[in-house]
Structure 1
Amino acid sequence: MWCSRCQNAWYCTSDHLQSDWPRHRRECVAVAPAQQTNMIATPPPAQPQVVTVSAILFSPEDDRPRIITVNCQPTQSPAQGNCPTPLVHQYFPQGQANSVVLTQGLNGEPLRFPLHLFYCPTSLSAGSPINRAIYRITSGAAAKAWCGSVVVLKFNGSRRQGYSDAGSNDLPALSAYFLAYK
């Protein structure tokens, strides 16, 4: 609902409109009749907001993965799709981060919520240390030693339109992926 007199104040209910009238009447200026051509009540466009989600960080310096908070910037153009862009550059000092989407878990079972892994492809050649957290969750049995940081976000569904909080329940699927990666 909006104020029909000025069409500049928006309300969720008529009770809210009535309770705000004593304050709003001091700023309410009637719209000229020529401007009242569109009488459909549509709210103003919503401004995209930064979304914050929990992610898993595998840091080379840590023995265990840890939960971190990652901000996700809304997309600015429809060509980029609906999924926000995670701001993970601070975890990759080399400035380069590739990503892969993990859609299968243990024994090839499809994941209901795919995992989005970010890593630096040049970490091994750049002399980055072996990632101790990944080494530990794979018991050192991975075919390839992972180096550098890895950040894991969790999609909120198979359509990959946004992220939800990642957590320790996602570690078995990640361990299987790290073990199988060659």
Structure 2
Amino acid sequence: MQNTCLVCDTPVNTRCAKCTSVYYCSKAHIAQDWPMHKAYCKRVRAATNTFDAILFGVDEIKPRAIKLPWSYGPQVDDDPRGWQLLEREPWLGGKDRCPYFFYVGTFGVNGPSLGRILALYYDENFLINGSPINRCIQNITKGKAAHPWAGNVLALRSKGLRSLDWYNDAIIEEDLAPLVRFFEDYGKEDDPAVRGNDVVSSKKRENAQVAADIASASVTAEPGTADLKPFAFVVFVLLFFLCTVLI
């Protein structure tokens, strides 16, 4: 994708001298955009680690690559590796904001696998906080987006559904097309994405399978063991409760 001035969209090769991740055509446009660029510029310069991400700016006309700072989160008992904490401000920060995510792994509804997982972050509370409609998404979908996306939207690569909090750099030349297709399709009857809080970890799947097996055993018991059905049901309920608490 050709680099263009963030203010006027003129093709250019001159970048911000401080963060080197935003392009401008003149000193006048650097000064004009500085009030908006300042917070991002400082965060990127201070960051020890960054990922390349794709920004669908709420008031911009096309997506662009940005640097997304991140740090290692604290280790947890069931995952000694820790996790990668994304610093989503200033894009998704602020009062009444609720960053949420989708995982996109196919090109379109029931389409071929991408061979990678794209993590898409947006503001779940846009209807509450009055965030404006995302002009960038409206533009790249030519108004065909089935869902009224609002506020800023970010995307980068995830390392997969078993490593939800581990990421990779987005490559805009490869990842933009499936994201545009997702924006066009999401909201229709078939959904090509896996929504964040609907993702079930492998441990939960195992526990759910154990509970299902116990339930099946209690239903399909031999006639001679019918008197054990109430006991089997109680065991099933207790195990299900323990699985839920331990997760």
TM-score range for the pair, normalised by the shorter chain length: 0.5 to 0.7
1:127 is aligned to 2:92: no
> Secondary structure, in 3 states, of the residue corresponding to 1:56?
strand
Matched, 1:153 2:156: yes
Partner amino acid, structure 2, of 1:84 = Q
Residue-by-residue CA offset, 1:2-52 (whole Å, 9 max, x unaligned): xxxxxxxxxxxxxxxxxxxxxxxxxxxxxxxxxxxxxxxxxxxxxxx9531
* Paired position in structure 1 for 2:56: 58
Gap runs ≥5 in structure 2: 1-46, 188-247
Matches within 5 A, 1:88-99: 88-92=88-92, 93-94=94-95, 95-99=97-101
C-alpha separation in 1, matches of 2:128 and 2:141? 22
Letter in 2 for 1:120: D
TM-score by length of 1: 0.65
SS class of match (1:78):
coil
In angstroms, what is the RMSD of aligned CA positions?
Answer: 2.3
* In structure 2, C-alpha distance between the alignment counterparts of 1:166 and 1:57, rounded to whole Å: 10
State how many pairs are aligned. Answer: 134
Aligned partner of 2:234 in structure 1 is none
User: Does the C-alpha gap of structure 1 residues 141 and 79 become closer, same or farther in structure 2, counting only changes over 3 Å?
Assistant: farther
Contact 1:65 1:133 in 2 (8 A): yes
The residue identity in structure 1 corresponding to 2:167 is: Y
Are 1:109 and 2:112 an aligned pair? yes
- Cα deviation, residue 159, structure 1: 4.8
Q: Report the more deviating stretch, 90-99 or 131-140.
A: 90-99
CA separation of 1:112 and 1:126: change in aligned 2, threshold 3 A: same
Number of the residue aligned with 1:171:
176
**Residue type at the aligned position of 2:169:** D
- Alpha-carbon offset, residue 91 of structure 1: 1.0
Which of the pair has the greater relative contact order for Cα pairs under 8 Å at 6+ separation? 1
Q: 1:51 to 1:137 in 2, by over 3 A?
A: same
- What's the offset of the Cα at 1:175? 0.9
**Hey, which of these two has a bigger chunk of helix by percent?**
2
Whether the aligned pair in 2 keeps the contact of 1:97 and 1:120 (CA below 8 Å) is yes
Larger Rg: 1
Paired residue for 2:232? none
How far is the alpha carbon of 1:114 from its aligned partner?
Answer: 0.6
Confirm or deny: 8 A CA contact 1:52 1:69 kept in the other structure: yes
Q: What's the TM-score once normalised by structure 2's chain length?
A: 0.49
CA distance, structure 2, for counterparts of residue 60 and residue 120 of structure 1: 11
How far apart, in 1, do the equivalents of 2:184 and 2:68 lie?
A: 26
**Aligned partners of 1:166 and 1:68: how far apart in 2?**
10
The CA deviation at 1:152 is 0.6
Structure 1 contact 89–97 (Cα < 8 Å) conserved: no
